[in-house]
Amino acid sequence: LSEQFTHEPERLTQLLNHYFTEMSAAVLAHGGTIDKYIGDALMAFWNAPIEQERHGLSACLAALEMRDRLQRLNHELGKEHAARGMPFAPIEMGVGINTGPCFVGNLGSEQRFNYSVLGDTVNVASRLESQTKIYGVGNIIGEVTQAAAVDLATLPLDTLLLKGKTEPVVLYALV
pLDDT, tens digit (0-9, with 9 covering 90-100), for 26-67: 999 999 999 999 989 999 999 999 999 999 999 999 999 999
Mean pLDDT confidence for 95-111 = 97
Q: What angle do CA 172, 29, 54 make, to 5 degrees?
A: 50
Is the model's pLDDT at 121 over the cut of 90? yes
Question: Peptide bond preceding 49: is omega within 30 degrees of 0, i.e. cis?
Answer: yes
**Residue 4 burial (CB < 10 Å; 0-12/13-18/19+)?**
middle
**Residue 126 burial (CB < 10 Å; 0-12/13-18/19+)?**
middle
Distance CA 2, CA 13 (A): 10
User: Given pLDDT bands bounded at 50, 70 and 90, which one contains residue 142?
Assistant: very high
Q: What is the pTM of this model?
A: 0.94
